[in-house]
Amino acid sequence: MAQMAEKFLLSKLSRAGFVALIAIATLCAVLGEPMVAAAAAAAAGIVIAGKTFHPNRVHQPWPRIQQAFFVVLLLILLASFWTGPWILSHWLYALPLVAFALVPPAAAAVVTLIIAVLAMIATQWAVGLADRHQMISAFLLTLLLSALLVFLRDYKTRQLAPLRRTDELTQAASREYLSADLHKEIQRSEREGTDMSIIMIGLDTHLSDDEPDEDIRSILPRIGRYLHSQIRDFDTYYRVADLQFLVILPGISTSDAIARAETIRKGLATLLESHGMNLTVSTGIAGLNIGDDANSLQQSAANALRRAQQQGGNRSQAYSSWSQPAQPSQPRAEGPVA
Q: Does residue 226 share a domain with residue 78?
A: no
Give the pLDDT of residue 255: 93
Range of the domain at 58: 6-163
| Helix 178-192 vs helix 294-310: crossing angle, to nearest 10 | 110
Q: Which helix (H) or strand (E) holds 283?
A: strand 281-287
SS3 annotation, 285-314: EEECCCCCCHHHHHHHHHHHHHHHHHCCCC
Q: Does residue 202 share a domain with residue 303?
A: yes
Q: Cα separations (Å) of 261 from 175, 185, 237?
A: 20, 19, 13
The pTM assigned to this predicted structure is 0.52
Give the pLDDT of residue 133: 67
For residue 201, which phi and psi values (nearest 5 degrees)? -115, 135
- Using CA atoms, how far apart are residues 150 and 132, in angstroms rounded to an integer? 27
Contacts of 328 (CB under 8 A, 6+ apart): 321
Q: Is residue 35 part of a domain?
A: yes
Give the pLDDT of residue 297: 94
Give the pLDDT of residue 2: 39
Give the pLDDT of residue 321: 47
Closest residue by Cα to residue 332 from 237, 258, 249: 258
Q: Is residue 139 part of a domain?
A: yes
Q: Is residue 327 part of a domain?
A: no
Q: Does residue 267 share a domain with residue 118?
A: no
DSSP labels, 51-92: TTTSTTS--TTHHHHHHHHHHHHHHHHHHHHHH-S-TTGGGG
Q: Is residue 280 part of a domain?
A: yes
Is residue 212 classed as helix, strand or coil in its secondary structure?
coil
For the chain, what is the domain count? 2
Q: Does residue 110 share a domain with residue 229?
A: no
Question: Could you tell me the CATH number of the domain that includes residue 284?
Answer: 3.30.70.270
Q: Cα separations (Å) of 137 from 123, 142, 283, 315?
A: 11, 9, 63, 68
Give the pLDDT of residue 195: 94
Which of the listed residues 163, 190, 222 is the one where a domain comes to its end? 163
Name residues of the chain where pLDDT drops below 50.
Answer: 1-6, 58-59, 163, 321-338
Q: Is residue 333 part of a domain?
A: no
Contacts of 302 (CB under 8 A, 6+ apart): 200, 284
Q: Does residue 74 share a domain with residue 135?
A: yes
- Using CA atoms, how far apart are residues 151 and 28, in angstroms rounded to an integer? 35
- Using CA atoms, how far apart are residues 80 and 88, in angstroms rounded to an integer? 7
Give the pLDDT of residue 198: 96
Tell me the pLDDT tens digit for each residue of 227-244. Answer: 989 988 889 999 888 889
Whether residue 328 is preceded by a cis peptide bond, meaning omega within 30 degrees of 0, is no
* Helix ranges, the chain (H): 2-30, 34-48, 62-83, 95-102, 105-125, 132-160, 178-192, 213-230, 254-274, 294-310
Give the pLDDT of residue 94: 84
Give the pairing type, strands 316-318 and 236-241: unpaired
Q: Does residue 256 share a domain with residue 121?
A: no
Give the pLDDT of residue 286: 95
Q: Does residue 132 share a domain with residue 54?
A: yes
Give the pLDDT of residue 205: 79
Q: Does residue 229 share a domain with residue 265?
A: yes
Q: Is residue 202 part of a domain?
A: yes
Do the beta carbons of residue 28 and residue 188 sit within 8 Å?
A: no
Give the pLDDT of residue 92: 80
Q: Does residue 207 share a domain with residue 126?
A: no
Contacts of 268 (CB under 8 A, 6+ apart): 201, 223, 226, 281
Q: Does residue 156 share a domain with residue 51?
A: yes
Q: Does residue 212 share a domain with residue 137?
A: no
DSSP labels, 322-335: GGSSS--S--S---
Q: Does residue 210 share a domain with residue 72?
A: no
Q: Is residue 44 part of a domain?
A: yes
Q: Is residue 56 part of a domain?
A: yes
